[in-house]
Structure 1
Amino acid sequence: MTETYDLRRTAVLLIDPYNDFLSQDGKVWSRLEPVARQVGLLDHLREVIASARATGVRVVFVPHRRWQPGDYETWDHPTPSQRKIQQFHHFARGSWGGEFHPDLQPQPGEVVAQEHWGSSGFANTDLDMQLKQYGITHVALVGVLANTCVEATARFAMELGYHVTLVRDATAALSPEMMHAAHELNGPTYAQAIVTTQQLIAALDGSPR
């Protein structure tokens, strides 16, 4: 890997780190677990966030809309994913499943962007404004799901002019085929770098402070 990062202008975007996705009794965990365990998702998320904080890279939380009664019921055309959220109440507001994983909690001063309704963390939120206010030009994306919210947020970041890094083993999807599509087929069309957790950590450690 030859990428270097200006640590003052780099942010790790942590997408949807909810208990429903990442914890043992989460509503989606049983479907995510095979891929998550194969890639070492939770350990790698912990490592990326710890490295970012140690090197002064900004950590930004990018949360999905937490379901609450009435969501999507009167919409003209909710997506299939939104229909599933409406049916199963994924990451419901006020529930344990709608809380961030205990190992992935915001620290004082870290940005928690407005919740996104669809897949992109940028659409109809303050994420772009927050990143610009901190002078961020480079974003590394981790979290879930690789082929939906991570990919949509990364593509939107590219369109807005950010340098995009995907961290292939600090995300997961509901099947190996979805992971393959995210990192081998789609990612190379828009991301400047697709790396492993250890490659990203080495790049951050080796970048000038």
Structure 2
Amino acid sequence: MGISERAALLVVDVQRGFADAEFWGRRNQPEAEGNIEALLDRWQETGRPVVFVRHDSREPGSPLRAESAGNALRGFVERRRGRGSGAELLVTKSVNSAFLGTPDLDRWLREVGVDQCVVVGVQTNMCVETTARMAGNLGYEVWVPLDATYTFDLEGPWGWRLTAEELARGTAVSLHGGGFARVVRTSEVLAAVGG
């Protein structure tokens, strides 16, 4: 796969508020957290750059609002902040793309010399997909290990409803088939990075 020493791991919105099943509903990929942990550990062990992304929702009642306990990064992610020997950044945002947050992610990645991005986190079809698309548009080589992401069942117009699995497959096809990113498995990324 050719993942370089300058590849950044973007850990998108792995926050406590997404554990609120009453608010979000049914989710997919119960193995996602373990895969995110494994990738974080490998990135930090090998001194590669890591970007932690936090969504500060402006929506009333959202468990991700800045003043709510759900806004915090999940414990297994927060415990890993500051532990690696590589460059590290925290980006906060209130929209879907980490590239439209604070500080300027694209500028930081270029200053650090990043040429590739591996995007993981929540939700597959929203902030992960949007961030991966923008990374591709900005010229980065992008990988999305699909089993290190998850999402929730969702209702759209006219009562159309898609399951979390259907939404994840749609994201995978759009990103991979559309040339925005290579959609892979966590095991493939770990093998490419080495130890």
TM-score (norm 1): 0.78
Q: Describe how 1:170-185 pairs up with structure 2 within 5 A.
A: 170-174=148-152, 175-185=164-174
Residue type at the aligned position of 2:72: E
Deviations 1:145-182 (A, max 9, x none): 11111111111111111001111100011111101101
Measured at CA, do residues 145 and 197 of structure 1 come closer, stay the same or move farther in structure 2, by a change above 3 Å? same
Partner residue, 1:31:
26
Greater relative contact order (Cα < 8 A, sep 6+): 1
Select 2:49's aligned residue among 47, 58, 70.
Answer: 58
Partner residue, 1:110:
88
CA contact (8 A) 1:20 1:29 kept: no
Does residue 40 of structure 2 align to residue 49 of structure 1?
yes
Aligned sequence identity (%)? 28
Deviations 1:27-67 (A, max 9, x none): 656432xx032xx1111111111111111211101221x24
Separation in structure 2 between the aligned mates of residue 167 and residue 122 of structure 1, nearest angstrom: 19
Partner residue, 1:162:
140
Does residue 192 of structure 2 align to residue 203 of structure 1?
yes
Residue type at the aligned position of 2:47: G
CA contact (8 A) 1:140 1:166 kept: yes
CA RMSD for the aligned pairs?
A: 1.9
- Number of residue pairs matched? 178
Q: Describe how 1:137-148 pairs up with structure 2 within 5 A.
A: 137-148=115-126
Residue type at the aligned position of 1:204: V
- Specify which structure has the higher proportion of strand: 2
Does residue 143 of structure 2 align to residue 150 of structure 1?
no
Residue type at the aligned position of 1:128: D
Deviations 1:105-125 (A, max 9, x none): 122662102x22221111254
CA contact (8 A) 1:27 1:97 kept: no
CA contact (8 A) 1:15 1:141 kept: yes
**Structure 2 residue runs without a partner (length 5+):** 153-163
1:196: how far off?
0.6
Residue type at the aligned position of 1:31: R
Select 2:9's aligned residue among 2, 9, 12.
Answer: 12
Separation in structure 2 between the aligned mates of residue 27 and residue 137 of structure 1, nearest angstrom: 39
Measured at CA, do residues 60 and 14 of structure 1 come closer, stay the same or move farther in structure 2, by a change above 3 Å? same
Partner residue, 1:133:
111
Separation in structure 1 between the aligned mates of residue 48 and residue 21 of structure 2, nearest angstrom: 29
Partner residue, 1:80:
none
CA contact (8 A) 1:13 1:140 kept: yes
**Structure 1 residue runs without a partner (length 5+):** 72-84
